[in-house]
Chains A and B, each alone.
Chain A
Amino acid sequence: MEGPMASVIEEGGRGLIRRPSATTGFWSWFTTVDHKKIGLMYGGSSFIFFLIGGLEALIIRSQLAGPDQHLVTAAQYDQIFTMHGLTMVFLFVMPMSAAFFNYLIPLMIGARDVAFPRLNAFSFWAFILGGLFLYSSWFLGGAPNGGWFGYPPNSTTDPSIGMTFYTLGLLITGIASSVGAVNLAVTIINMRAKGMTLFRMPIFIWMGLVVQFLLAFSLPIITVALVEMLFDRRFGTHFFDPTAGGDPILWQHLFWLFGHPEVYILVLPAFGIFSEILPVFSRKPLFGYQFVAFSGIAIGFIGFGVWAHHMFAAGLGPVANTAFGVSTAIIAVPTGVKIFNWMATMAQGDLHFDSPMLFAVGGIAMFVIGGLSGVTHSIVPADYQQTDTYYIVAHFHYVLFGGAVFGLFAGMYYWWPKVFGKMLSERLGKVHFWLFVVGMNLTFGPMHILGLQGMIRRTYTYPATLGLTFYNQVASVGSFTIAIAMLVFIVNVLKTARHPKGLENEDPWDARTIEWMTSCPPPVHNFDEVPEVHSLDEFWHRKYTTDERTGELIRIPAGAAPEHDPGHEAAAGHAIHLPSPSFWPLVAATGLPLLGYGILYSWYLVGAAAFIILVGFIGWALEPSVAE
């Protein structure tokens, strides 16, 4: 395969350097622009960050397992809890969602790739390099230590270098997410298969679209806040410096104006996954498809109007507190609607509790708890007591662990055969699930009580006299239960990887959406022939029809449906044109962390980094997207 291709490239070589051509092998991963490979890299790297963030959580829970413990110092603890939050939000849930979006959006809407494949590769490299940049702070003077929320003046006056890494690291990953958001939004709007109207899109795609717009409109706000903080820390400005007249509350407004939409950025992908899995394993269509889609859009809009509920104790006054209390209560409605729709989807169904379904139903059950404790935050005076306590920690872990993490694992079990052509072990999947449920409730359940009993957040220790020891011990036991569950999952993955047997059936779940209409794993061009879409749940409707007399479902005989036609397949791939691999996204992305180090250490490096970025983009512009 090398021979003919290389010649093709040389003949058409118009770029600055010789274009990479390999599509397999180790180095091909560095130049790939295939959304599936990029999705896998997002998934793999964010999973590693998940494990690192999990280890940080275990250190936190070990420190707090008893009163007055000194496993780590206060200084180390502050870095660990800050990095735990940053890792889980920016380096795990966001990129893991990006992994799902990257891999699945083109497949689910019937596209060959995303709208801008090289930009997609750039997003990935910017994310991973940004993450590594952030983590390099551990070795360069200390990790960020002012909390993921980084309230100034504490974070602007802290003398260690950590919070400067925080601003730069989040700016880099922010660039990655912004670029990715534009790319995926355009993909969904513009790359749909014939017949895939907006209201025939799977809910996962709807949630994906809402998330990309949330990203596109919330990230610029945090970008400004981070730039201002960076300038305060590095260049002596006074944005958040009260001695010069600056107002620390401005940061809080900017941060939460991003931070609250961010919560929906984290959880809506999981909502999309739940909405895909429940109908498949209930053998029923999603109950109230339009309602679920519109409630997602409503959440997206209202999500921009609730930010100050993070600041009820900041002294904004009764008018603001009333307004944001009410808006917070309002956003509970479209969220609640989804829960009821999911329940109605399951009702009267033929429920198959395979691992994906277990994680989906378990996730919904856990999210309900987080939702209800969330409603108590709209009870503003109650929040005066609960804010900044473990009650909040309990709340958002039920939302993010119960909602987002369960959703992402549900998606992994569900789409694993699609992506790898192999089934994960059901038995281990069930063990994983039950350990997860028990572990998470043991860990985060008692935190509600701890918060109500007055345990503050972000404390590196507590004295025995506060009477908080018992529930902290329970939570610590729970956290190790979650760790064991994760080991079970890793064993499951490794066992499956070594298992040579592929899928017997390329539609193992009797699925409903068109990503299952191609092989497992899909070919590089996704579909030999992109299916024309006639309805929501297109694949299901090609498999089943309803008897008009009795209302019974009738399976259409396999041969009758134009699914796989091996003879056709061989012919089909030839006329398809896919973007070719490219070095330039990686080159341009490499400039970003260098720029970061430059701002920290040397203006020469800034110049070098700017040059690399410029060369990267010019080389990129000179290179046609498809090699000739």
Chain B
Amino acid sequence: MRKKVLWALGLVALALGLASCAPHATQDTLKAQGPYAQQIKSLFVPVFWIAAAVFVLVEGGIVFIALKWRHRKGVNRTPPQTHGNTRLEIAWTIAPALILAVVMVPTIATIWSLAKPPPANALNITVQGHQWWWGFSYTDADMKTGYGTNAPISTADVMVIPAGRTVYLSLASEGGALNGGVAGPNPDFQVIHSFWIPELAGKQDVVPGRTNHILIQADTPGTYYGQCAEFCGLQHGKMKVRVVALSPIDWTAWVANQKLPSDTPTDPLATQGMDTFLNPLSGGRGSCIACHSIGGTTAAGTAGPNLTHFAAYTHSCFAGCDWNTSDTAALQAWLRDPNAVKLGSKMPNYHLSPDEINALVAYLKSLN
């Protein structure tokens, strides 16, 4: 029995020692970076310590009893034949009930606090889960683009928000305005996802046919990482998302930029890429614009991510945020055969030639 205690202590020491070597986790639920995540953390941490105290008491009690009353060879002891003690049993029924009752008070308060309606100045964003990437649509009246049909600003994979301001997310799965404001059922949205940025808020499911809401806020500018938390099929593990929080100045500039249509490239390679993108591919291989839209051009597809500002400095990742936009090789590999890098991707292999790929990459990199 003493061995068990030593084992346990040794393991704890080992774990703590090695834990200090572990690198920083980017989705740490206990590293709250905004008021909503902080409310949850402030609730969980004290409960954790209460649970830890109960853990030490109960496990300590078990070890103590096991050691103290263990049978020793050669000692014949007759234990008292106690059948129970009603008073004692009532006491240890009431004690945990009281502890739980105490804990439930702040719990219920926090449930309702997190469910409060958003403040008047909150930014509204509609979030849509696709297999397997996230789309965002900025639905406020002052967030409409200045071209075409004045659709809301929309992005994919990266959600840009103003730091220090509450964002009210509508997690819609059907009929929400996205990619040029086209509404209506889209089979691509028809599985459940869960939107989760651990450092900013708890998770909330995105359920087809329903609209859920959640409040998030980042206190300081920076990048926050998250991913889909509800199993949604083959590439569930690679359905990541980044939230970029900007300072007020940067935010204003970002919004102004997003309202503009895409740049028309001047570089010849990029121009060639634009041609490839906007026109049907030779040999009946299909066309990019069937699924993608690029503001200010004829590209107005809605099934895939909006690429209008693909190369904006905030748009750091693509295709479920598993690859960095700056990584030319990754972009090329993606265009060569999306399913080779991400099996199950809805984007088919268009059998693009190396020249076409280089031109398309150049075009995409010009879209900032």
**Direct A–B touching, Cβ under 8 Å:** yes
Binds B, one of A16-24, A181-189, A319-327, A586-594: A319-327
A372, B54: Cβ atoms under 8 Å?
yes
Q: Provide the bound-state CA to CA distance between A389 and B202, in Å.
A: 12
* Nearest Cβ on chain B to A318's Cβ, whole angstroms: 4
Given contacts A438-B7, A467-B25, contact A315 B93 (CB under 8 A): no
Q: Closest CB-CB distance, B61 to chain A, in whole Å?
A: 6
Q: Which B residues between 1 and 31 are near A, CB-CB below 8 angstroms?
A: 1, 4, 7, 11, 15, 18-19, 21-30
Q: In the assembled complex, which residues on chain B have CB atoms less than 8 Å from the CB atom of A458?
A: 231, 236-237
A322 to B112 CA separation, bound complex (whole angstroms): 9
A351 at the interface (CB under 8 A from B): yes
Q: Contacting chain B: which of A2-10, A166-174, A212-220, A445-453?
A: A445-453
Kindly supply a per-residue 1/0 record for chain A positions 444-465, scoring 1 wherever the CB is within 8 Å of any chain B CB and 0 otherwise: 0110010111111111111101
Q: A151-B230, A242-B207 are in contact. List 19 more A-B contacts (CB 8 A).
A: A154-B191, A242-B208, A249-B210, A285-B82, A287-B84, A288-B86, A313-B205, A329-B101, A333-B100, A336-B93, A351-B71, A361-B62, A381-B40, A383-B202, A384-B202, A449-B19, A454-B226, A467-B25, A551-B81
Binds B, one of A119-127, A253-261, A363-371: A363-371
Interface residues of B in 263-289 (CB under 8 A from A): none
Structural contact, A154 and B231, CB atoms closer than 8 A = yes
Residue of A nearest to B101 (CB): A329
Known pairs A151-B230, A153-B190, A460-B237; A242 contacts B173 (CB<8 A): yes
Indicate whether B249 reaches chain A with its CB closer than 8 angstroms: no
Binds A, one of B44-52, B348-356, B358-366: B44-52
State whether the Cβ of B97 lies closer than 8 Å to any Cβ in chain A. Answer: yes
Q: Is the CB of B62 within 8 A of A322?
A: no
CA distance A287 to B112 in the complex (A): 42
Interface flags for B30-43 (1: CB within 8 Å of A; 0: not) read: 10000001011001
**Contact residue among A326, A365, A461 (Cβ-Cβ distance under 8 Å from B104):** A326
Once A73-B343, A348-B80 are accepted as A-B contacts, the answer to whether A151 and B231 lie under 8 Å apart by CB is yes
Q: Tell whether A421 is near chain B: CB-to-CB under 8 Å.
A: no
Q: B343 near A459 (CB under 8 angstroms)?
A: no
B217 CB-CB contact with A under 8 Å: no
Q: How many A-B residue pairs have C-beta atoms within 8 angstroms? Tell me.
A: 303
For B201, what are the chain A residues with a Cβ–Cβ distance below 8 Å? 384
Q: Are B205 and A243 in contact (CB under 8 A)?
A: no
- Considering only residues 448-493 of chain A, those with a C-beta below 8 Å from chain B are 449, 451-463, 465-471, 474
1/0 contact string of A10-53 vs chain B (CB within 8 Å): 00000000000000000000000000000000000000000000
Bound form: Cα–Cα A291–B71 in Å:
27
Q: Which of B18, B203, B233 contacts A385 (CB 8 A)?
A: B203
Contact B96 A284 (CB under 8 A): no
Contact A368 B58 (CB under 8 A): yes
* B25 partner, pick from A353, A365, A454, beta carbons under 8 A: A454
In the bound complex, do residue A368 and residue B59 qualify as a contact, i.e. CB atoms below 8 Å apart?
yes
Residue B187 at the chain A interface, CB threshold 8 Å: yes
From the candidates A151, A343, A388, name the one contacting B61 in the complex (CB within 8 A): A343
Within 8 A of A (CB), among B83-137: 83-86, 88-89, 92-93, 96-97, 100-101, 103-104, 107-108, 110-112, 114-115
Contacts of B235 in A (CB 8 A): 74
**B22, A375: Cβ atoms under 8 Å?**
no
Is B111 a contact of A325 with CB atoms below 8 Å? yes
Q: Given known contacts A153-B190, A348-B69, A375-B100, is B26 in contact with A318 (CB within 8 Å)?
A: no
Number of interface residues of A (CB under 8 A): 108
A146 an interface residue at 8 Å Cβ cutoff?
yes
Interface SS majority for chain A: helix
**A368 / chain B contacts, CB cutoff of 8 Å:** 55, 58-59, 62
Residues of chain A contacted by B88 (CB below 8 angstroms): 344
- Residue A418 interfacial (CB < 8 Å): no
Distance (whole angstroms) from the CB of B308 to the closest CB of chain A: 27
Which chain A residue lies CB-closest to B78?
A553
- Residue B79 contacts which of A284, A290, A343, A469 (CB distance < 8 angstroms)? A284
* B234 on the A face (CB < 8 A): yes
Residues of B within 8 A of A365 (CB): 59, 62
Q: B185 to A243, Cβ gap below 8 A?
A: yes
16 A–B contacts from the bound complex (CB under 8 Å): A313-B194, A318-B112, A344-B88, A346-B62, A346-B69, A347-B65, A349-B69, A352-B71, A368-B55, A368-B58, A373-B51, A375-B47, A382-B43, A389-B229, A454-B25, A456-B228
The 6 closest A-B pairs by CB, nearest first: A384-B202, A454-B27, A459-B237, A242-B209, A315-B212, A453-B25
Q: Which residue of B lies closest to A369 (CB)?
A: B55
Contact A333/B93 with A350-B77, A466-B27, A470-B22 known, Cβ cut-off 8 Å = yes
Closest B residue to A340 using CB positions: B92
Query: Would you give the 0/1 interface string for A241-255, flagging 1 where the beta carbon is closer than 8 Å to chain B?
Result: 011011111000000
Partner of A343, one of B39, B62, B112, B173: B62
The interface residues of chain A lying within 8 Å CB-to-CB of B185 are 243
A327 to B92, CA, bound (A): 19
Taking CB as reference atom, which chain A residue is nearest B206?
A315
Which residues of the other chain, A, contact B174 by a CB distance below 8 angstroms? Answer: 242-243
Q: Is the CB of B107 within 8 A of A288?
A: no
Q: Which residues of A contact B253 (CB under 8 A)?
A: none
Residues of B within 8 A of A379 (CB): 43-44, 47, 103, 107
A339 → chain B closest CB, angstroms: 7
**In the complex, chain B residues whose CB is within 8 Å of the CB of A388:** 194, 196, 203, 229-231
In the complex with contacts A243-B185, A385-B202, A470-B22, A288-B55 CB distance below 8 A: no
CA distance A449 to B59 in the complex (A): 20
The answer to the question of A78 belonging to the interface, with a C-beta cut-off of 8 Å to chain B, is yes
**Residue from A154, A333, A351, A470 within 8 A of B233 (CB atoms):** A154
B219 within 8 A of A: no
Q: When the two chains form the complex, which single residue of A313, A347, A376, A469 contacts B202, counting CB atoms closer than 8 Å?
A: A313
B111 near A381 with CB under 8 A, answer yes
* Cα–Cα distance between A318 and B116 once the two chains are bound (Å): 9
A337 sits at the interface (CB 8 A): yes
B14 to chain A, nearest CB (A): 9
Is B66 in contact with chain A by the CB < 8 A criterion? yes
A285 neighbours in B (Cβ, 8 Å): 81-83
Within 8 A of A (CB), among B289-328: 322
Least CB distance, B247 to chain A, in whole angstroms = 25
A314 touches B207 (CB 8 A): yes
Q: Is A548 an interface residue (CB 8 A)?
A: no
CB-CB under 8 A from B232, the residues of chain A are 154
A556 within 8 A of B: no
A247 touches B209 (CB 8 A): yes
Chain B residues, Cβ within 8 Å of A389: 29, 229
Q: Within the complex, what minimum Cβ distance (angstroms) separates A118 from chain B?
A: 41
Bound: A361/B18 CA distance, A:
29
> Which chain B residues border A344 with CB–CB below 8 Å?
82, 84-85, 88
State A453–B24 Cα separation when bound (angstroms). Answer: 9
Say whether A372 contacts B204, CB under 8 Å.
no
Interface residue? A283 (CB, 8 A): yes
| Known contacts A154-B191, A340-B92, A379-B44, A346 near B111 by CB under 8 Å | no
Q: Tell me the minimal C-beta distance from B101 to chain A in angstroms.
A: 8
Instruction: Give every chain B residue within 8 A of A190 (Cβ-Cβ).
Output: none
Smallest CB separation, A371 vs chain B (Å): 9
**Minimum distance in angstroms from A285 CB to a CB of chain B:** 5
Given contacts A336-B96, A382-B47, A470-B21, contact A284 B208 (CB under 8 A): no
| Given A379-B44, A453-B28, A466-B26: A315 and B204 interface contact (C-beta under 8 Å) | yes
**Does A552 lie within 8 Å of B78, measured CB to CB?**
yes
Say whether B198 faces chain A, with CB atoms less than 8 Å apart. Answer: yes
Report how far A516 CA is from B209 CA in the complex, Å. Answer: 59
**Closest partner residue, chain B, to A388 (CB atom):** B229
A350–B231 Cα distance when bound, in Å, is 50
